[in-house]
Amino acid sequence: MKPASAAEVGLTYSYFSPNFQFMNQTIIKNSIRKIAEDHGALLGVCRIDDDLRRVFHFEIQKIAEKMTHAISIGMPLSKSVMDTLIDHPNMLYKAHYRQVNAVLDDTALAISSEIERNGHRALPIPASMVLKRHPMIGHLSHREVAFRAGLGWWGKNNLLVNRKYGSKIRLVTVLTDSELEPDEISTENCGDCRACLKACPVGAISDDKDLFSLEACSAQVQKFARENDYGMYICGLCLKACPGKK
């Protein structure tokens, strides 16, 4: 018989009791999905295979040996904020970018706590922690996890593209040893859309996504940061242009 969801048994993440330590994986997944939804975010799950594990930063490699699954959480950006971008980033976008990252980190923490309350390990990976700038390196690729967890496909702009939100979505990851059911990988792609090619000021994006120029993109975001004293590398123009599949 199919196990009851957290909602069906009248529970929410905020008042699970220790009596539910051994709730099964389906209920845990329903519960953490609800936490994500309560924060306005999407959630997907994938298994951690050797290819994914290989690119984990050394800071998390040891603890990640215990982890079998990765949870991707995606938070949509405000369309209205994105609409203020014309041909360069601005302070409103910078503030919004930080705000969304903070909410993502809060969401990852709440989900990690829920998993740990149910007797499993959970490791939240910060949404936007840059460990090295040239080339840009974090603890892992949130985009790769999100792709494997079914939140979208790899776009021509080298970002995740979600069907509903396009690339206007930011990501965070939680690693866990909880054997959650993985989600389906998206089989969609950009098709003949070229919106981001037209939006990029330096021609970093090509029709062939494998020809994306990281060098050209990176040089441009550094230029924006220098010219405007943002203190962080942001652009946003190809995100704004990306429609997803509307």
5 and 34 in contact (C-beta within 8 Å)? no
Interface pick for ligand SF4 out of 31, 107, 176, 220 (rule CB under 6 A) = 220
Residues forming a β-bridge with 145: none
> Among residues 16 and 153, whose Cβ is nearest to ligand SF4?
153
Helical ranges in the chain per DSSP H: 25-38, 50-54, 58-64, 79-82, 91-117, 142-148, 195-199, 214-228, 237-241
> Among residues 26 and 213, whose Cβ is nearest to ligand SF4?
213
Query: Could you say which DSSP state residue 175 is in?
Result: E
> Among residues 74 and 166, whose Cβ is nearest to ligand SF4?
166
> Among residues 54 and 246, whose Cβ is nearest to ligand SF4?
246
Residues forming a β-bridge with 170: 75
Report, in Å, the least distance between residue 244 CB and ligand SF4: 6
Q: How far apart are CA 240 and CA 236, in angstroms?
A: 6
Report, in Å, the least distance between residue 163 CB and ligand SF4: 10
Q: How far apart are CA 70 and CA 154, in angstroms?
A: 18
Closest residue to ligand SF4, judged by C-beta, is 155
Report, in Å, the least distance between residue 168 CB and ligand SF4: 10
- Identify residues 67-106 at the interface with ligand SF4 (CB under 6 A): none
- Identify residues 144-203 at the interface with ligand SF4 (CB under 6 A): 155-157, 161, 166-167, 190, 193-196, 199-200, 202
The dihedral region occupied by 10, where left means phi > 0, alpha psi between -120 and 50, and beta the remainder, is left
Q: How many residues of this chain bind ligand SF4 (CB under 6 A)?
A: 24
121 and 17 in contact (C-beta within 8 Å)? no
> Among residues 43 and 205, whose Cβ is nearest to ligand SF4?
205
Q: Which stretch binds ligand SF4 (CB under 6 A): 66-74, 94-102, 118-126, 231-239?
A: 231-239
Who contacts 61 (Cβ-Cβ below 8 Å, separation ≥6)?
Answer: 53
Q: Which stretch binds ligand SF4 (CB under 6 A): 49-57, 95-103, 130-138, 215-223?
A: 215-223
Report, in Å, the least distance between residue 128 CB and ligand SF4: 15
Tokens linked to 14: 């905020």
Interface pick for ligand SF4 out of 95, 217, 232, 233 (rule CB under 6 A) = 217
Q: How far apart are CA 151 and CA 185, in angstroms?
A: 8
Q: How far apart are CA 10 and CA 155, in angstroms?
A: 40
Report, in Å, the least distance between residue 153 CB and ligand SF4: 8
Binding residues vs ligand SF4 (CB under 6 A) = 155-157, 161, 166-167, 190, 193-196, 199-200, 202, 204-205, 217, 220-221, 235, 237-238, 241-242
